């Protein structure tokens, strides 16, 4: 049994990770800025702390007496959020900086940092037929403005704390994680959840069309949460010291993503394309050469399979909350 901190545990990925670590028999302390009523999952037997980890003293309080840290805490959301909240996203650098300082001073044995594919050079993401972003493509640096630069800087902080202070750090670059127990409305949701919600709204409220941001030809890959949690644990306890892609290599266009959700719902909609909405890069995919070489594994749950589980969960929530204000404010979520 290990004594493990999950920072950002009130969010989507952090909630799943805390639940998994507890099921494995570890002593888990879950930390998030949100009130407990806003956490997406609360696991019995896990100690829950509500703390703002941008504050240095709170990081020392959270880590005191523990052995390992998984840092998934950040102020972010989908493209609609990060393009309009660049300063808020940048302030998350305080979380990682103060957690690293506390980890160094309190003798933390291992430290995991959740980075993002938004660190990659934007000039390598202008073609929808993206062959896959290799880890080396983060340099020369031209990251997503705001959020991506914060992630890239925090990666370097982890590296230098490892080199200068001997802290064992591991970094994974997440590519679009989705699944149940995540945000699906309120402005911070990612594309899979947003499209599921829009299609379900058409079923519940008789809407005839769906608004798609951009022309629908932009491409992405989407990783189901179970693959993400496995990858986090494998990378944390590996000997890989450099940042590693953690994402599916199954690239689809946004139009194809809508096709899949409509197929699940057995419901076709007229598509309206909003060319003025935030669109992000033109094409992004994960090159999994290194994770396969080093771990003998890569995320492989098919998108259609994961979408079905996600769609069913979101529909259940929306039916339950029909006529209510079900929007949740999510601060610490990827």
166-209 per-position pLDDT tens digit: 999 999 999 999 999 999 998 889 999 999 999 999 999 988 99
Statement: residue 134 has pLDDT above 90: yes
Q: pLDDT by residue (tens digit) across 229-253?
A: 999 999 999 999 999 999 999 999 9
Mean pLDDT computed over 130-140 = 97
Mean pLDDT computed over 13-35 = 98
Residue 222 CA to residue 47 CA, distance in Å, equals 31
Mean pLDDT computed over 267-296 = 96
- Pairing type for strands 47-50 and 27-32 reads parallel
Burial classification of residue 29, based on how many CB atoms lie within 10 Å of its CB (0-12 exposed, 13-18 middle, 19 or more buried): buried
For residue 324, what pLDDT is reported?
64
For residue 334, what pLDDT is reported?
27
How many Cα atoms are found within 13 Å in the side-chain-facing hemisphere of 122?
11
For residue 251, what pLDDT is reported?
98
Residue 331 CA to residue 32 CA, distance in Å, equals 8
Statement: residue 106 has pLDDT above 70: yes
For residue 323, what pLDDT is reported?
63
Mean pLDDT computed over 23-38 = 97
In 53-121, where do the E strands start and end? 68-71, 110-116
Cα distances (Å, whole numbers) of residue 215 to 44, 149, 175, 231: 44, 26, 21, 32
How many other C-beta atoms are found inside a 10 Å radius of the C-beta of residue 119? 27
Residue 55 CA to residue 59 CA, distance in Å, equals 7
* Domain residue limits, the chain: 3-177+223-246, 180-221+251-282+302-320
Statement: residue 329 has pLDDT above 80: no
Mean pLDDT computed over 30-49 = 97
Residue 157 CA to residue 323 CA, distance in Å, equals 46
Percent of the chain with pLDDT over 90: 91
For residue 326, what pLDDT is reported?
45
Statement: residue 330 has pLDDT above 80: no
Record the pTM.
0.94
Mean pLDDT computed over 128-145 = 97
How many other C-beta atoms are found inside a 10 Å radius of the C-beta of residue 88? 18
Residue 119 CA to residue 100 CA, distance in Å, equals 20
Among 3-12, 89-98, 316-325, which is the least confidently predicted range? 316-325
Cα distances (Å, whole numbers) of residue 328 to 169, 188, 260, 331: 32, 9, 26, 10
57 or 78: which leads in pLDDT: 57
**Are the CB atoms for 257 and 192 separated by under 8 Å?**
yes
Residue 125 CA to residue 118 CA, distance in Å, equals 10
Is CATH 3.40.50.300 what the domain over 180-221+251-282+302-320 is classified as, yes or no? Answer: no
Helix (H, G, I), strand (E, B) or coil at 298: coil
- The candidate with the shortest Cα–Cα distance to 61, out of 50, 75, 46, 72, is 50
For residue 244, what pLDDT is reported?
98
Residue 103 CA to residue 168 CA, distance in Å, equals 10
Our measurement of the distance from residue 277's CA atom to the centroid of its chain's CA atoms, rounded to an integer in Å, reads: 21
- Is the fold of 3-177+223-246 the same as that of 180-221+251-282+302-320? no
Residue 303 CA to residue 250 CA, distance in Å, equals 8
Provide the token pair at 113. Answer: 């940092």
Q: pLDDT by residue (tens digit) across 50-69?
A: 999 999 999 999 999 999 99
45 or 278: which leads in pLDDT: 45
* Average pLDDT for the chain: 94
For residue 287, what pLDDT is reported?
98
Which CATH topology does 3-177+223-246 take?
Answer: Rossmann fold (3.40.50)
Mention every residue, 6+ apart, whose C-beta is less than 8 A from residue 3.
26, 27, 29, 65, 66, 67, 68
Mean pLDDT computed over 66-86 = 92
Provide the annotated active-site residues: 147
Length of the chain: 334
């Amino acid at each position: 049994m290990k004594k493990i901190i999950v920072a950002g545990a009130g969010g989507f990925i952090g909630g799943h990770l805390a639940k998994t670590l507890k099921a494995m028999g570890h002593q888990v302390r879950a930390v998030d800025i949100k009130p407990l009523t806003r956490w997406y999952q609360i696991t019995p037997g896990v100690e829950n702390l509500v703390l703002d980890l941008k504050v240095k003293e709170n990081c020392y309080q959270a880590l005191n007496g523990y052995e390992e840290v998984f840092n998934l805490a950040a102020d972010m959301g989908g493209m609609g959020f990060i393009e309009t909240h660049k300063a808020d996203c940048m302030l998350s650098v305080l979380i990682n900086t103060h957690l690293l300082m506390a980890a160094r001073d309190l003798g933390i044995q291992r430290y995991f940092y959740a980075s993002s594919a938004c660190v990659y050079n934007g000039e390598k993401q202008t073609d929808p037929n993206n062959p896959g972003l290799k880890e080396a493509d983060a340099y020369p640096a031209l990251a997503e403005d705001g959020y991506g630069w914060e992630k890239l800087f925090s990666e370097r902080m982890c590296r230098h704390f490892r080199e200068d202070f001997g802290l064992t750090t591991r970094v994974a670059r997440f590519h679009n994680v989705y699944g149940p127990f995540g945000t699906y409305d309120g402005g911070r949701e990612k594309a899979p959840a947003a499209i599921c919600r829009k299609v379900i709204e058409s079923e519940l409220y008789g809407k005839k069309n769906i608004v798609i941001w951009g022309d629908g030809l932009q491409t992405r890959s989407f990783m189901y949460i179970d693959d993400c949690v496995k990858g986090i644990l494998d990378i944390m306890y590996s000997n890989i010291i450099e940042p590693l892609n953690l994402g599916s290599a199954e690239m689809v266009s946004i139009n194809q993503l809508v096709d899949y959700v409509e197929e699940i719902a057995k419901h076709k909609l007229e598509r309206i394309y909003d060319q003025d909405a935030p669109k992000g890069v033109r094409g992004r995919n994960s090159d999994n050469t290194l994770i396969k070489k080093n771990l003998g594994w890569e995320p492989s749950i098919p998108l259609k399979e994961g979408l079905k589980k996600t769609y069913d969960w979101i529909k259940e929530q929306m039916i339950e909350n029909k006529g209510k204000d079900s929007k949740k404010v999510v601060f610490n979520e990827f």
